[in-house]
Every structure is written in structure tokens, then in C-alpha cells.
Structure 1
């Protein structure tokens, strides 16, 4: 293990002590100086925090809760995966933002400056052109968009991606982990400076729009749409799909998303839930009165992704790791269409690790139903 760049570990034990010990055993290389983990929300988080901190004494550890875990051996549930990064190839620093709501441009600049300085002091490789930023956010916060725009304005063009924490689709509490504790309503900003060649990317599988609806009543702060085409939102959405409103569920949302056109591209605005009292719809992403949403036909879920990864292999060579933030609605689609074995083949082929999210981030933009991540090559940059 003398030339290890990254190592992915997994524990399926639901006992925090056993799980932490198993992860530590798998991440035993002496050069590993930073660990990123993603865990199911089924764990008693206070106990898990203590056990992870104890198991990885002297190693920086950050993470978040998930809507599912991803390894090169396929999708997982009710597990913890952890990725260890070697100090020979990575200089990594992390900062927590305990209140996303109060995050200002000055805060963003200070955060980026601290991260940059911490990486610079490790004297691994020049910061410019050799670094990317990873964000982990509370996935049930309504401040994600503003936080990401603010951070991006201070990031000096450094490529940036990330994911919003989940809670196994309970939609109750999502958490991020930093320096021994889990936090809510918080964000973690991680700068990764590396000798490895890499590319930050994002892709979806929208094929083409079908029919349009207009948001005619909404509450932007809570991402709630009350009316589509001046009709109760859930009733109008169900009518478009020709289904009963009582049959609407995450499984239906996954296969029948709504999308907004920005420039020449369509981006999904994923539905989180139906509010039964008034038949409104709550979304995972920003919505407001006046925006036009389209029902869309979806393409083969693997074609765009496989094409993007194949292109990167042709440029950079084989991947050491593809670290991903993959929307949980994509996973639901894959499960419903019986495509888990094809997903596993792709995950194994490209050494994909990461988690299923409540939203993805790319260069200051909050997205839904995408596969977003970073391709890290085996060879040096």
C-alpha cells in the first residue's frame, strides 16, 4: 500500500463502535491524513460521533448523513462508507459554517482564505489549477441557493461541487459532521489540493420537454408551490401525469420530474412532497411565482454519465476515484426500472464512491436529479 492515493472503506454494522473500528481497520495506511464519510441516519449520531473521533485520532474527519450510500460494489443502505486520502497526494482543509442563513460575502472570503492558507502551508502543489472545493450542506435547509451563490462569488474560479445531506428519505433531520460533532442548519466547505489530475463535472439525463406549467402561487422561502396554472399544485401535476393525487410519491416524482429552462439547458426542480392539507408541493430546489416548469421525457439514465466518464478516461487515464453526489431520485429510478446490476457495473468500472443526496452543487448552483462529482485520475496532474 506504499502508493495509495485514496481508499474506500465500508461498514454495514449498525453498532457505531463496531462500524468505526471496521472503517479504521480498512483505512490503515499510515499516509492517510483526511477521512470523508457518509452515513445512514439510522445511527445514533452522538454515539457515532464519539466512536469516529476515537477511531481516527489525529486524522481530520468530516462527513454527513445520507439518503443512501454508494461504493464501487454498488448501492448501499443503512451503512457507513468512508474515503481516506493520502497526504502524499492530497492537502485537504475544511471549515464549518454553523449558520448558512447568516453566511455573508465577507464570511465567504474569510472561509476561502483560511482554506487556501491551510492547504498552502502543507506545500504539496500550487493551489491554482490543482484544487477543487467540496461542499456538504444541511439538505433540509432553504438557504442552500444563497449560500452557494455567496461562496462561489469568493471562490476565485476554483471548481466546486457538493451534495446536500439526506436522512434515508424521512425528511425530518439532516446533519453534517465536523471535528467530532454532528450539526444541523450548517455547511462544511472542504478544499482539496492535489497532485492528481482531476475534473469536476455534472450530468443529468433529461431528453426533451413535453408540456409546460406556470407557477402561479408560491412561497419561495419554504420552496412551496401552491398553484400551477392557477390550480392546486398537486392536483394539476397529477392531472398532467394522468394519475390520482393520492398516488403521488417519491417514486412517481423520480420518473416524472419537472424542469426549468436556464439559457438553452433544462434543470430539474425535484418535488420533495405533497402537502395534503392544501395540495401544495414542496420542492428540494428554488421555486417562485412566474417560473415556467416543464414535464420532461428522460433519456437512458446511464448513457450521458457513461459518455462523460469515458471521455475523462480518454483524457486523464483510469480513475483512482470518482467521488460522487448522486441524487436519491436517480437511485429510485434505477431501482424502479430494475437497473441495479447495470449501476453496479458502472460503479465498479469507474471506482465510484459517494452518497445519495437531497440536492447537488456545481460551481455555485443548486441542482436536483443529477450525478455530480469529481473524477480523480490515477496519474499525477
Structure 2
């Protein structure tokens, strides 16, 4: 272990302040909630704050309140479809994470023109973030980087932005989640520079000498049935026909229900996926429309083949995933999770939310329920995707 590793180990284990502190508030008044979070997170070496909040808050008031409560500390965040706190699943609250500047160098930026985001902009953005990290903490030179992306969950721009950014990032691993709005599907927001933004994305670059693993998991298994998209409105992410039949009718036939019975809980338990290589990537259905079409959370195109999926026990997959991360990294200082809101709907339907909350809390998972997840430049659905950070510095 070199001197820099020894310094990080000292910070992690002996300085009296953990390298990562998590907190949450259920107070409804924005100013009070922000101040409560600051009381829990603030210390002399606080370098960055990441937060996820219910869309039930007045965002016009919460934005300035968070900026004032953490004056001088960079902050990023987004709205959610539910929060994951140190105690497990929650609704109507704010969960926040504070990063120690001695262990993490963090740089963040806002993309406010998603449609015009091209490779040149992505390359410039990546270079600026890397330089900002170097400037923020020269003592962490030689540490590894990962990127968190938070996108407006109703922008329909995720695929383009993520693929472009992934090209510019090269070997830097990335993950993230699409902002939610408590399942209203009306307005989602990301937070940067003291206020909330729509039709925008936040990119956070984090450098550390602690070991970490960017991961993704789902509990869905392929069935034999296939559905071919024979007519689609790609711009609106709508499938008009499956197997040359009205999409909602063909999907209802697949799941053995009338079209009138199609609802979010059914979509969550009977998802569809596209196969790429040996992997299946879920394309979750947002809703059935009056014209017989289906709206999706991910991009859809004419000619793609969708595989019917069926859920295996979610809690078993969750426990195995968390156990594997702990075996590979040791006791984590943080697992930051982007958990699809459809997984939570499934847990609620099965009466398993309390058990899932217990597993998440014991493992140290905090984060939020998303309208879609991001993993290495891909936009995916119905996963738990995130980063686990260990407590022993890498050599």
C-alpha cells in the first residue's frame, strides 16, 4: 500500500467521519427538509451532495432551499417515482448522499439541449469533467472513474444521449436512471446549479481510490413466445401493431386478459424484451392507448422482435446480487441504486415491499425508483442498476 492508499484508508476508517454519509427527510416543507438533510450531512470535508426527491415537493421552493442549506457545496439530483432510503423504500421524501472530498473527487455538469447533443459536445464535456476532477483533488490522481447520468424521464432522448456519451467516455463505466414524478407521467426534472430543469440531463463524474463495481440485474427470464413490431411510431415510442395485429389486442392475447384489464401491474409482471447477443434487455410498456397502440418507456422500431418474459422470484435475485457485490468488494461504504418503478409495483402487488426494504437497508443501498435505467450507454427497463463502492483502497 502506498502513501496515498494509506491516507485514504485513514480517512475511511479512523477520521471519525465516514467517506459517504446518507440521510433522508420526510418533512414536507422544503426549507425544513433541506435544513434537516444539511444537519445530517454537513462536515468540514463535505465535497459533493447527491439527492433524490419526491415530485410532491414544490420544486420552485426546494431548489433554492437545497442550494442555501448546502451553500458552497456542489449539488446534483432529480425527482423520483419513489425513494430508497437507508431504511428501505419510501415515498414523499428526500434521500441524500454526502461524499467526502478526501476520498472522492466529483465533477458534474448539465446538458440542457438533449436533441442537439452530439459527439463533439460529448467529447468536450468528458474532457472538462476529467480536468475538473483533477483540479478538485490532485491527491486522488491514479484513482478510477465512473459516471452517473440522470435524465429527464419523459424526454424520449435517452438512447441518443447515452450512446453518444458512452462513445466519448471510452472505458469509463457509466450507469444512471431516468427521473420520475411519482407515477404521474407528466413532468420529471433533474437538478443542477440551484434549480430544477426539464428536457435536460445531469452527468456526474466520480473519481476514487476505493474499489467499485458498476452493475445491473433483473429477475426476468425469456419465454418461447415472440412478437414482431410490424408498425411503430418511433418518435412517440408507440407500437401500433404486433404480429400485424393491433398492438394492445395482441399483447392482451399473449397475457390472457382483455384489453380493458391492461394496467401498470400487468405490464410489470408480463414484460417484453429485445435480445442483443446473449442478453435480453427489457422494453417496458408504459400504457395502452385508446387507438389500440402501446406506449413504451424505451425506443421501439419497425421490425424488432420482442420476446415475452416472465418473472423469477425478485427477492431471490436481489439477495444474490447484493451478496455477490459484498463478496467481491467487501463491506460497501455505499451501494447507489437506480431501481425501476415497475419492480416496486411488482413488489407491492406481491406484498413483498417490507422484505425488499429490509434487504436493501441491510446492504446499504440508497437511491431512487426510476422511469428507466442506464448501463454502459444503453437505456434499459425493469432492472436494479447502480454502483457498489467498497471500503478498502485498491493497490
TM-score (norm 1): 0.97
Does the CA contact (< 8 Å) of 2:23 and 2:86 recur in 1?
Answer: no
What secondary structure, in the 3-state scheme, does the structure 1 residue paired with 2:140 have?
Answer: coil
**1:86 aligned partner:** 100
1:354 CA displacement:
0.1
CA distance in 1, matches of 2:139, 2:66: 27
**Alignment match of 1:147 (pick from 150, 161, 184):** 161
Does the CA contact (< 8 Å) of 2:222 and 2:307 recur in 1?
Answer: no
**2:273 aligned partner:** 259
Does the CA contact (< 8 Å) of 1:72 and 1:350 recur in 2?
Answer: no
What secondary structure, in the 3-state scheme, does the structure 2 residue paired with 1:221 have?
Answer: coil
**Alignment match of 2:138 (pick from 123, 146, 149):** 123
2:34 maps to 1:20: yes
**1:102 aligned partner:** 116
CA distance in 2, matches of 1:210, 1:333: 22
**Alignment match of 2:342 (pick from 320, 324, 329):** 329
2:206 maps to 1:215: no
**2:151 aligned partner:** 137
2:180 maps to 1:166: yes
**2:370 aligned partner:** 357
**1:270 aligned partner:** 284
What secondary structure, in the 3-state scheme, does the structure 1 residue paired with 2:314 have?
Answer: coil
Does the CA contact (< 8 Å) of 1:35 and 1:59 recur in 2?
Answer: yes
Question: Would you tell me which structure has more helix in proportion to its own residues?
Answer: 2
Q: Please list the CA deviations of residues 89-117 of structure 1 after superposition, one character each: whole Å capped at 9, or x if unmatched.
A: 10000010001110010000011001000
1:50 CA displacement:
1.0
**2:392 aligned partner:** 379
CA distance in 2, matches of 1:55, 1:317: 34
TM-score (norm 2): 0.94
2:296 maps to 1:283: yes
Q: Please list the CA deviations of residues 246-302 of structure 1 after superposition, one character each: whole Å capped at 9, or x if unmatched.
A: 1111111111111111111111100111111x1111100011111111211211113
CA distance in 2, matches of 1:78, 1:379: 35
Which runs of structure 1 show a deviation greater than 6 angstroms over 4 or more consecutive aligned residues? none
Q: CA RMSD in A?
A: 1.2
**2:319 aligned partner:** 306
Range with greater deviation from structure 2 (303-312 or 115-124) = 303-312
CA distance in 2, matches of 1:308, 1:243: 33
**Alignment match of 2:261 (pick from 238, 241, 247):** 247
CA distance in 1, matches of 2:358, 2:60: 35
**Alignment match of 1:320 (pick from 329, 333, 343):** 333
